[in-house]
Chains A and B, each alone.
Chain A
Amino acid sequence: MDGRLWARELTLAYDERVVARDLSVRIADGSFTVIVGPNACGKSTLLKTLARVLKPRAGTVHLDGEPISSYASRHVARQIGMLPQSPVVPNGIVVEDLVSRGRFAHQRLLRQWSVADETVVVEAMRMTEVLDLADRFVEELSGGQRQRVWLAMVLAQETGILLLDEPTTFLDLAHQFEVLDLCADLHEQGRTIVAVLHDLNQACRYATELVVMRDGALVAQGPPAQVITPALVEQVFGMPCRVMDDPETGTPMVVPASRSRRREPLLGQFIDRTT
């Protein structure tokens, strides 16, 4: 397989519970890949495994041609950054402190705050619009502000590959699109983005590549326009729907079937039996 980051024949498990078996996936270089799928289908687990936070039970993740486990932690942290779903917020830490810690992999014992460190941290905070919050305590911030702070910390890591686990949770509609726009900007600057998203329409708008998962298996991978069909959505999410063109962007737009239409077959069976 080619590309910087790919995984082959992964078995993913927490203790005894196997989440995925024989899962292979390739992240296209320079893509904005979005992973979608129902809850508990193994999206986050896959993302964590790609970032080397979880060790696969079997199979390998490769980064730049070598097994990812063969690198030093620091090296991996300079290539892959990840925004986890619910990071721990330590008490009493101010925003700038937290964002600065994203520089860890670039720093040395006696070289902890170089000009480059400072420039990158300020730029990361500017891009995520948290500069005004620099001296505020992280625990005092709203969910949306906090999410942007964590994103700034990941950006400060200056990695070519960025993994984002549901970056839009806790955010209102406007902030959701702000974060996604930011991801699109980063993508345009040449970064590879891999995000787990729940909203299919957002996924279709922003992704250059969709990875559709169900029960720990890869169901489909490709550009949204080729992948998203009513049959696929029903197969994966168990939800009858129509797929039309998004009037704003022309990308696929999933419109779930109405409540009554979704109930019709069941109701029909019921009537059949009683008559």
Chain B
Amino acid sequence: MTGVVRSERPASARRLVVRRGPVALRLRVRTLVVGVVLTVAAIAIAMVSLASGDFPVPLGDVLRALAGQGDAGTEFIVVTLRLPRVLVALLVGAALAASGAVFQSLTRNPLGSPDFIGLTTGASTGALLVILILDERGLPVAVGAMVGCVATSVAVYLLAFQRGTNAFRLILMGIGVSALLESANSFLLVRARLSDALAAQVWLIGSVGGRSFTDVALVGIPLAVVLPVLLVLARQLSMLNLGDETAALNGVPVERSRVALALSAVVLAATATAAAGPVAFVALAAPHLATRLTRAPGPGILPAAAMGAVLMVAGDWLAQRVLPTRDVPVGVVTAALGGAYLTWLLAREWRRGRALG
């Protein structure tokens, strides 16, 4: 491999150029490092999470159990009980963050994440209908959430993109649709039986407790399919950041690229929400945090996904330890951390003299 690091440049501009055969790539060294560090961090926290709990397991035994060489008891605790939860946390975090990175980039607005444009609220409505009206639990709830999310995104898209494209209108429309669905959700909760309402409320906060390998597959398979698609479309996305006109002038099929990107992001948001409920703020905060670290012009999809996985798995680890006797849904932790972050972000943007957007 011929790798050349142009070291005379400032650290933020350092690039790794790889040219071999038909391949010729240029990568930002900083983005590469941040991506690797975040991935390692996510895996490390996941290991700690697998090791800790009511029955602490030494890290060595965790690794042996994962490799299928541990004793039956440890393997049951680590692989059967704890692994699905940790995997769902990692995958949901990555999917939400990637979805958020794409939407924030498409709308060129830090608030343009699935939490704000109605997608997660739509998923909640779908899930609530299944829990409260059809009285189902488990997989049907996930399906309901997915259908709700996709239906909402189609509705918002059709309402917002009547003539030409306007990202700001998309966000406002999303907020409007969100409010509408929010009231529908409240109505559903109010007229429900108490026990049903409780189950629905836990789902609404977003939790990865008691998950099975079905849930892992539910979010893992779409992520495995969509993430490569997004990586292919990342070049178009970075061109769209320069404005529709410049993108079109440089040969980007603007409308087609945008629909493909939005669709991929909707699939990620829908499956992640289906698997874990509407976990708050990961989609909003992870891309920002990743960009802050990479100092790249746009949120890289992979660093954002790695950051999302870190936030989610660390949040869940914390959530299991906030109360000594009870499992707190991870959404409580991410909402608390994310809310604090959003407030700080808004305060900072205002001090710099420009409103978001």
A residues at B contact (CB < 8 Å): 15, 48, 51-53, 72-78, 81-82, 84, 87-88, 90-94, 96-98, 100-102, 104-105, 107, 109-115, 117, 134-135, 157
Find out whether the CB atom of B249 lies under 8 angstroms from the CB atom of A82. Answer: yes
- C-alpha gap A81/B251 in the complex (Å): 10
- C-alpha gap A111/B18 in the complex (Å): 10
Q: Which 7 pairs of residues, A with B, have the shortest CB-CB distance?
A: A77-B251, A88-B243, A113-B26, A105-B251, A93-B297, A74-B251, A114-B24
User: For residue A84, which residues in chain B have a CB less than 8 angstroms away from its CB?
Assistant: 245-246, 249
Supplied contacts A76-B251, A94-B12, A107-B235, 7 more A-B pairs, CB within 8 Å: A84-B249, A87-B245, A88-B243, A97-B297, A112-B25, A134-B13, A135-B10
Measured as residues with beta carbon below 8 angstroms from the partner, the interface class of chain B is 20 to 34
Find out whether the CB atom of B23 lies under 8 angstroms from the CB atom of A110. Answer: yes
- C-alpha gap A104/B239 in the complex (Å): 8
**B9: CB under 8 A from chain A?**
yes
Find out whether the CB atom of B22 lies under 8 angstroms from the CB atom of A104. Answer: no
B residues at A contact (CB < 8 Å): 9-10, 12-13, 17, 19, 22-26, 108, 163, 232, 235, 238-239, 241-243, 245-246, 248-253, 291, 295-298
Q: With CB as the reference atom, state the residue of chain A lying closest to B354.
A: A91
User: For residue A73, which residues in chain B have a CB less than 8 angstroms away from its CB?
Assistant: 248, 251-253
- C-alpha gap A273/B354 in the complex (Å): 56
Find out whether the CB atom of B248 lies under 8 angstroms from the CB atom of A53. Answer: yes
Find out whether the CB atom of B298 lies under 8 angstroms from the CB atom of A90. Answer: yes
Q: Which of B12, B25, B250 contacts A110 (CB 8 A)?
A: B25
CB distance from A55 to the nearest CB of B (A): 11
Q: With CB as the reference atom, state the residue of chain A lying closest to B233.
A: A109
Find out whether the CB atom of A96 lies under 8 angstroms from the CB atom of B13. Answer: yes
Find out whether the CB atom of A104 lies under 8 angstroms from the CB atom of B250. Answer: yes
- C-alpha gap A74/B239 in the complex (Å): 13
CB distance from A204 to the nearest CB of B (A): 28
Find out whether the CB atom of B19 lies under 8 angstroms from the CB atom of A77. Answer: no
Find out whether the CB atom of A115 lies under 8 angstroms from the CB atom of B242. Answer: no
User: For residue A110, which residues in chain B have a CB less than 8 angstroms away from its CB?
Assistant: 22-25
Q: Which of A51, A91, A135 contacts B249 (CB 8 A)?
A: A51
Q: Which of A53, A75, A96, A101 contacts B238 (CB 8 A)?
A: A101
Find out whether the CB atom of A113 lies under 8 angstroms from the CB atom of B297. Answer: no
Q: With CB as the reference atom, state the residue of chain A lying closest to B248.
A: A53
Q: With CB as the reference atom, state the residue of chain A lying closest to B26.
A: A113
User: For residue B9, which residues in chain A have a CB less than 8 angstroms away from its CB?
Assistant: 135
Find out whether the CB atom of B242 lies under 8 angstroms from the CB atom of A101. Answer: yes
Find out whether the CB atom of A111 lies under 8 angstroms from the CB atom of B242. Answer: no
Find out whether the CB atom of B253 lies under 8 angstroms from the CB atom of A87. Answer: no
Find out whether the CB atom of B24 lies under 8 angstroms from the CB atom of A113. Answer: yes
Find out whether the CB atom of A109 lies under 8 angstroms from the CB atom of B232. Answer: yes
User: For residue B26, which residues in chain A have a CB less than 8 angstroms away from its CB?
Assistant: 100, 112-113
- C-alpha gap A76/B9 in the complex (Å): 34
- C-alpha gap A113/B251 in the complex (Å): 17
Evaluate whether A111 and B24 lie within 8 angstroms (CB atoms) in the complex, with A97-B297, A101-B242 already known. Answer: yes
- C-alpha gap A82/B26 in the complex (Å): 26
- C-alpha gap A15/B164 in the complex (Å): 10
Residue pairs across A and B with Cβ atoms less than 8 A apart, 26 shown, are A51-B249, A53-B245, A73-B253, A77-B251, A82-B249, A87-B242, A90-B297, A90-B298, A92-B291, A92-B297, A92-B298, A96-B13, A97-B297, A101-B238, A101-B242, A104-B250, A104-B252, A110-B23, A113-B19, A113-B24, A113-B25, A114-B24, A115-B24, A117-B24, A134-B13, A135-B13
- C-alpha gap A102/B239 in the complex (Å): 9
Find out whether the CB atom of A105 lies under 8 angstroms from the CB atom of B24. Answer: no
CB distance from A239 to the nearest CB of B (A): 32
- C-alpha gap A202/B131 in the complex (Å): 72
CB distance from B356 to the nearest CB of A (A): 12
User: For residue B253, which residues in chain A have a CB less than 8 angstroms away from its CB?
Assistant: 72-73
User: For residue B248, which residues in chain A have a CB less than 8 angstroms away from its CB?
Assistant: 52-53, 73
- C-alpha gap A229/B160 in the complex (Å): 50
CB distance from A152 to the nearest CB of B (A): 13
Find out whether the CB atom of A81 lies under 8 angstroms from the CB atom of B249. Answer: yes
Evaluate whether A94 and B13 lie within 8 angstroms (CB atoms) in the complex, with A87-B243, A112-B26, A113-B26 already known. Answer: yes
User: For residue A102, which residues in chain B have a CB less than 8 angstroms away from its CB?
Assistant: 250
- C-alpha gap A15/B239 in the complex (Å): 26
